[in-house]
Structure formats: structure tokens, C-alpha cells
A and B are shown apart, each in its own frame.
Chain A
Amino acid sequence: MTLPTNWEMVVGLEVHTELLTKSKLFCGCANNFGSEPNTNICPVCLGLPGSLPVLNREAVEFAMRIGMALRCTIAPSTFHRKNYFYPDQSKDYQISQYDLPINAGGYLDLPDGSRVSIERAHMEEDTGKSTHLGGSGRLAGADSSLVDYNRCGVPLVEIVSGPDIRSAAQARVYAQELRAILIATGASDGRLEEGSMRFDANVSVRRSGEPLGTRCEIKNLNSLRSLQRAIDYEALRQIELIGDGGVVRQETRHWDENVGETSTLRVKEDADDYRYFRDPDLVDLAPDQDWQDRVRAALPPMPAQRRGEVVALLASPTEAQLDAVEVVIDLGLEKYVHAVAAAAGDAALALSRAANEIAADIDHVDRLTTEAFATTVAMEQRGELSATQAKTVLASLLDQGGDPRSIAAALGFEQLSADSLGATVASLIEEHPDEWQRYREGDDKLAQFFIGQVMKVTKGQANGKAVIGELQARR
């Protein structure tokens, strides 16, 4: 989408991600999505009198990993209480980091070469989950609300970008790249649909060269699509408002994905007076150099580097192949592609099989060794397996593990390619003398006809290249 001439949008994103710890941020309750309601709660996360929070070391290390991946400075930090009345916190405050966050001053380079600054990436606890009964589902229409505190106290990192984003498309790319990084650090599963990653967007507009305009914060962006649509909508709304002589108010707005509009949630006023003060139950967090070094040493390579390493294996990557690289990086499957390349195999074929066949059964990926994968791809490359057969062997490997040669033999694939393919081709030539004659006279298009016939007879189990070989041998 393009804005009217001379207008520019200025966008900053706040991204919340839940951390993949076993327990919550300040207590030993399980950090587990999908548990029965209110089964992972204790005096600490409910804020019962006399309970005391103790910080989870793993959560700190995940936060440091995120900060390091985003080139932030790891700094001494403190925990504050953010006070507000809302039933998603039974203790009426949320423990968060305020003026001294653990990570500050970093940046994220996007694949298109643009750079978005990271102001901070701080730790805080998640809130409980409210379900609203009655009405239309929107909160204002609900008769009563039901609260499940399982999520209350789950560790979060909130990543706040600088106001460096200039289009909704760029915001989407930023969110995608950030998600890939969070997954790569091991800190997050990046599951938008489960709410383990959530976006808020700060949007303002200005005529080119003017100072920053008043911004609105958009909440309820639960998908990349919502993020992009909402930013575009909001920028146009503000431009239209100003064009009509109006003034943008600083406010929080709600995105309605069904209607495709934002609407006022609340105007910034008293509600934002959170009376932050230091949580007296928590001491300073100041990871020393030694602790930082240990975390940094364990930091795996980031997506940009891994992407580059896979792309380097391809001669001149097509758009489809670049998409496949994204899938492979996202799912952490590049070791399979590298295994094939290391054996001087066909990296492009390996990429395709990884991005499609392995990705299709990703839950069972642990059953597939890189050796078995490389062997299967090599068999396909040599024509011992057709594409269809190779896919079947991979599906079987993912289903129950094992050795690709044994699986191929058990399925009768090798026998087909070795012996019966020749017999099949010979009998088809007898059945179709006219087509065979034209093929012999040089009409190569007829090869496709015979391949089609062979596929029909073998139910797709033959190798196209092998069929052409058989045809040429008899020509």
C-alpha cells in the first residue's frame, strides 16, 4: 500500500514473547500452555500475603540471549511493580522492568538491508487469561469475565523497537525476522496462534520532513496479517483525520480483524499512572562478565547467518528456493541440506525434500537422521528412486525411522527400477506401435506419452529419467 504523496508513517513495535522455561518467572509453577484452568497457580503468582518471588535463572539467560542476538548492551537492571486494577493480575500489580532494563540499545538488520534500532528488551511477568461471557465477545459487551491464572507469572521479554519503521510491509518483515531470531535463540517457540508472541504497534504520520506526529498505540495484533493491515489502516485514518482539519489524540486503539478497523480503547490519562516503584522483594540483577560470556558462548548462529550458509549452496536461487530456505531455517532443518551438500549431493534437491517432505511431518523429525536423509536423496539423484518413491521412503523414515535401502527394498522400489521397468517399457512399446514409431523418428514429445503410460501402470512409482533411459536404449 502507498500513502498519499508527501506523507510518511512512523512506526515502532512492542513485541512480547513468552520464554520457554519449565517454570514461571518468580515461582515454581509449570509454564505450560494448554493446562487445565487454574492448575498451575501458587501463593506467589496469585500474590497471596507473605509469598515472596524468586527470579528464575533460565529466564534471565533467555533474556540475555535475546539481548545479545539483538546486539543490545546487557546492563544491571531492577524490577518494578506496575500497579493497576484489572483482574488479569490477582495481586493488582505486574512485576516488570522500568527505568533499568536488562537489555538496551541494540538493533536488528532486516533481509532488505534496512536497520531497526532496539531501544530495550526487558523482562516482565505475563498476566492471566480472561474469557468474557455474554455480549459479542468484545469486552465492553460481556456480562462477566472468567479468569484463568495459569499464564500469570509466565516469563516474558518485551522488545521495544525505535520509531524506525516506515511501512506496514517493513513492520511485517521486522516481526518475521524477530520471530526467527527468538526461535533461534531457543527462548521462544514463536507460536503466534497460541499467543506466545504478541504485537503492539505505535503509529504516527507526518508530512515529509516534519517532526514526529502524535502516536496511537494499536493493541490486539495477533498475527502478521493483522499487524500489517492494522498499521496501514491506522496511518490512513490519521492522514485523513489531519486532512479534514482534525487532530490525532494520543490514545490506545483496538484492532478488529473482522471489520478491518481500529477503534478507540481508551484515551491516555490517569489509567497510565501506574505508580511504578521498585519491588522491595527483589534485588538487583547484574550479570557479571563471566555469566554473560557463558551465555554468549552458548548462543547458536542467528537466522541471517544460517540463511546465508544455505543460500550459498545453491547455484542461482529461485524465488521458490528462497522461500524453501525460509521454511528450512524456520524449522531448523538446514543440517539435512548441509549433510547432503557435504556428501557432494544435490543441495537443491535436498532443500526441496527438507522444506516439503520433512516439514510435512516436523513433529517426528527426530526419527530422521541426516545420514538416512542424505542416502535417500542420493538414491533419488542416481535414479534408483523416483521422486514419488523418494517421498514415500522419507515419509516412512519419519514415521518409524530405519534404513532407506531396506525400506526401498521392502516396498519393492529397487526391484522396479532394476528389472521390471525395462519389461514394463517393452510391453508398452508393443501396445503403442504408432507412438513408438513417431518417437523413433525423432518426435521427443512422445517420451512424455510413454512416461505417462509407465506411471499409470506403476502407479507413479517409476522414475521419469529411468524411463527415458529405457526408451533411448530401445530407440
Chain B
Amino acid sequence: MSGAISRDEVAKVARLARLTLSETELETFTEQLGQILEHARDMNSLDLTGVAATAHPFGITNVVRDDVVTASLDRDTVLAMAPDVRDHRFAVPRILGEAP
């Protein structure tokens, strides 16, 4: 049967994730991702009539916390880890286009 994922689809996913893959890597990952998806396809052989979809491995809902302010990180400590800082802000290469 044809693979669970095509080479083009892998290339697209890589592009969306800003990954540059060589031709060889593209082959390798198409193969490997295909195997993972094939494995998941095994579920299709089961009769799941009447079984509710599982949204999360824990069957719990409404995990919330109180609206209380807690300490934030020290700004100097955080900014010291940034590659570039100006005016106490993270400096990044100029942005082309607006936020999605």
C-alpha cells in the first residue's frame, strides 16, 4: 500500500516547522513518519462502536487555579539569557509582515 504520509506532505510539515531537510533526510523521515502513522492505523482494525473518543489520557476536567499573582522572574536574569536586548526588551531581527 502507499505510505501513510507522502514525501510532499513531509516537506510541507518541515517547511511549516522551519526545518530545512536534505533529500536524504526527506526520504528517511517520510519512511519513519510513515511507520509511526501505520502503527496508529492499527486502531482501524478494532471495532470501536459505542466507545467514546478519548480527549486526554486523564479523565479529569476543570483543573483551575485561583486568580492570585505570584512572583515573576527577575528581569535582568531573563534578559541576560537573550541574544540581544535593547531598552529592557528582547531585540529580534526585523519582522516582515504582521502577526498571524
Contacts and interface: CB of A to CB of B under 8 A. Distances in A.
Given A59-B67, A284-B55, A134 B94 contact: yes
Name which of A57, A60, A83 has the most chain B CB atoms within 10 A of its CB.
Answer: A57
Contacts of B75: 36-39, 41
B51 interface: no
A131 B61 CA distance: 39
A256 B89 CA distance: 26
Given A38-B78, A275-B16, A140 B89 contact: no
B43 interface: no
Contacts of A60: 64
A127 B99 contact: yes
B72 A283 contact: no
A56 B67 contact: yes
Contacts of A291: 62
A414 interface: no
Interface stretch (A114-122, A142-150, A384-392, A438-446): A142-150
A107 interface: no
B1 interface: no
Interface string B70-94: 1111010011000000111111111
Q: B interface, by DSSP: helix, strand, loop or mixed?
A: loop
B15 interface: yes
Given A30-B69, A41-B72, A131-B89, A87 B95 contact: yes
Nearest to B86: A146
A85 interface: yes
Contact of B95 (A40, A142, A286): A142
B78 A41 contact: yes
B18 interface: yes
Contacts of A40: 72
B81 to A, nearest CB: 10
A285 B62 contact: yes
Contacts of A280: 56
Contact of A22 (B15, B67, B91, B92): B67
Interface stretch (A263-271, A313-321, A429-437): A263-271
B96 A140 contact: yes
Interface residues of A, number: 69
A286 B78 contact: no
Contacts of A22: 67-69
Interface residues of B, number: 40
A262 interface: no
B63 A283 contact: yes
B82 to A, nearest CB: 9
B6 to A, nearest CB: 16
Given A23-B69, A56-B67, A275-B16, A38 B90 contact: yes
A270 B16 contact: yes
Given A139-B95, A283-B60, A146 B89 contact: yes
A90 B71 CA distance: 20
A55 B88 contact: no
A132 interface: yes
B50 interface: no
B66 interface: yes
A272 interface: yes
A28 interface: yes
B89 A148 contact: yes
A273 B16 contact: yes
B64 to A, nearest CB: 4
B96 to A, nearest CB: 7
A60 B79 CA distance: 32
Interface of B: 12-13, 15-16, 18, 55-56, 58, 60-73, 75, 78-79, 86-100
Given A38-B89, A134-B94, 18 more contacts: A28-B65, A29-B72, A54-B63, A54-B64, A55-B64, A57-B66, A86-B99, A140-B96, A143-B94, A144-B91, A219-B98, A266-B97, A270-B16, A273-B16, A283-B56, A283-B62, A284-B55, A285-B62
18 contacts: A28-B65, A38-B78, A42-B72, A43-B73, A57-B64, A78-B55, A87-B92, A140-B97, A143-B94, A144-B94, A147-B89, A148-B88, A265-B98, A270-B16, A271-B100, A272-B100, A275-B13, A285-B61
